[in-house]
Amino acid sequence: MNNIDQRNKLSEEVFTFKKTKDNKVFIYWKGKQVTILTGKASEKFIKSIEGKNHLETQLVMAKLTGNFKRGNEKDYK
């Protein structure tokens, strides 16, 4: 795990998720929605995080969201 997250970004809990009643999973990065999983993808995600610790769960969500940032996002304050 140390080789994957050398800057310890995942220990800050940058990714969160919310599961709805109809088995949709919304994945958030720093409070902003970045992806929605439905159907078999959401079931696979829920099964993949069962029994994992915090850092492993963060890594699963990071891999699922992929490279969603392209460098042109503005930080409006």
Q: Is residue 1 part of a domain?
A: no
Which amino acid, 35?
T
Mean per-residue pLDDT of the chain: 83
Structural domains counted in the chain: 1
Q: Can you give the residue range of the structural domain that contains 36?
A: 10-65
Q: Is pLDDT above 80 for 19?
A: yes
Q: Is pLDDT above 70 for 13?
A: yes
Quick: pLDDT tens for 22-62.
Answer: 999 999 998 999 999 999 999 999 999 999 988 889 888 98
The CB density around residue 21, as the number of other CB atoms within 10 Å, is 5
According to DSSP, the residues that pair with 36 across neighbouring strands are: 26
pTM above 0.85, yes or no: no
Q: Is residue 76 part of a domain?
A: no
Q: For the chain, give the number of residues.
A: 77
Helix (H) or strand (E) holding 41: helix 39-49
